[in-house]
Amino acid sequence: MSTTIRRDLPILLLAIVGFLYVAEWFFGGNVIPQLSTFKGLMGTMVSVIAWTAVGVGTIYGISSEYYLVRRNRNWQQYVTSGSMFLMMIIMAIIWIWQWSGPGRAVGYAFQSPEWRWWLMNVYSNQTQAQYAIMFLYQCGAVYRVLRVRSMETTVFTLAGLAFILKSIPLFLTVPGVSEIGDWVQGAPTLGGTRAATLTASLGALVIGLRALVGKEQTTIEVK
């Protein structure tokens, strides 16, 4: 009984929803419109389920941070974790305070000057700084990895270089740079990308079919 409720019924539920989706792809629209209606409704319902579950993640996030504080009772940890909790409280206060108001839409908080201040100055700059760090990291990789050591790294270096030169205004004045870059982008890259996408789709497709017939282990044996 326990196995039926805990394992078999969820798998059955998965298969029913999955098969209805597959059926809609082929027989929805004008043939059996109810299937399309079902899919439309189910799509939004699944979104609502996912949105509602957002708190689960937050609970996990808070509890692991709290655990860190309890394990490392030193001022540095208090400052680090404290800054996270404080930030959460500040944003929650702004959100509740600015949720809506006379003449404003519900959810106005995200457009309010207070929320925007944190978004545009704190979050946005942290994110841009990480992208900038990504560039510096990549400079390290350019120097370390892009060497003509093997067939693969040679192709990688030459193709990458062709595209970089083509993207830099200064080098476009050199004859041939633009044409070589265009060719690399338009022929070998397109072919490679096309095949990689195609094979990955086939792999994804087989996993989907396996899950539909209840033979995908990761969906079966979940505690």
Partner 1 sequence: MLNTALVEQFLRTGRVMDILFLIFVWLFVIYYITKAGRGAQLPKIRRIAAIDAIREGVGRAVEIRKPVHWSFGNAGAYVTDQNVSETLAGLGVMSYTVGLCARLGARFIFHMPGNPEAIPILEGTVLEAYSKEGKLEEFDRRRDLRYYGSGMMVFTAALAQSFMTEGVAMKIMMGRQPTCMYVALEAAKLQGAIVIGGTARWTAMYSFVLTCDYLFIGEEVFAAGAYVTGNPYMISSLASEEMAKYACIGILALGIVLSLANINFAALMKN
Partner 2 sequence: MEQKTEEKTIWDKIGTIDYRYIYVFSLIMILIPIIQPIGIPMKVGSNAQTWHNTIVNIPAHSYILFNYYVDLSVWADMGPILVVTLNEVWMIPKERDVKIFFYSSTADGAVKMRDLLVTLCKPPQWRTDSYGTTWVDVGYIGFPNEAAYASFVMDFKSLILRDIRGTSLLDVPAAKEMAAHAAPTDVLTAADFDLLIWSSWGCTDPDMYVRQFWASGSPPYHVPMLMQTIGNCVPNVVPYVGPDKPIRAFIPGAAGAAELEMITGLKGDGTKMADATDLGGVATVILIALGNIAYLGGRFLGKKKEEK
Partner 3 sequence: MVDIYTQLGVLAGALMIIGQFTMLWKDNLYFRVTTRIVVGYYMMYMMCYYVAMIYGRTWNAMTVQGEWWWAVAIFLGLLMYTRISRQYAWIAKYPMSIALGAGVGTVSVALLRAQVLDQITYTVTDLFTATSAYALFNAIVIAVALVTTISYFFFTREHTGPLGWSAAVGRAFIMCSVAVIWAGDYMWAMAMLSGVLSYMVNNFIKGLMLGGPIS
CB 82 within 8 A of CB 72: no
219 binds partner 2 (CB under 8 A): no
* Residue in the block written with tokens 């996993």: 207
Size of the site for partner 2 (CB under 8 A): 40
CB of 153 to partner 3, least distance (A): 8
Nearer to partner 1, 89 or 172 (CB): 89
Alpha helices per DSSP H over the chain:
2-3, 9-27, 33-52, 54-71, 75-97, 113-117, 124-145, 151-167, 177-186, 188-212, 217-220
Residue span 18-37 as binding mask against partner 1, x where in contact by CB under 8 A, dash where not: -------xxxxxxx------
Phi, psi of 126 (to 5 degrees): -60, -45
Stretch that binds partner 1, among 95-103, 110-118, 133-141, 161-169 (CB under 8 A): 133-141
> Measured between alpha carbons, how far is 104 from 43 in angstroms, rounded to an integer?
29
Binding residues for partner 1 (CB under 8 A): 25-31, 46-47, 49-50, 53-58, 60-61, 63-64, 66-67, 71, 123, 126-127, 130-131, 133-134, 137-138, 140-141, 145, 156, 193, 196-200, 202-211, 213, 215-219, 221-223
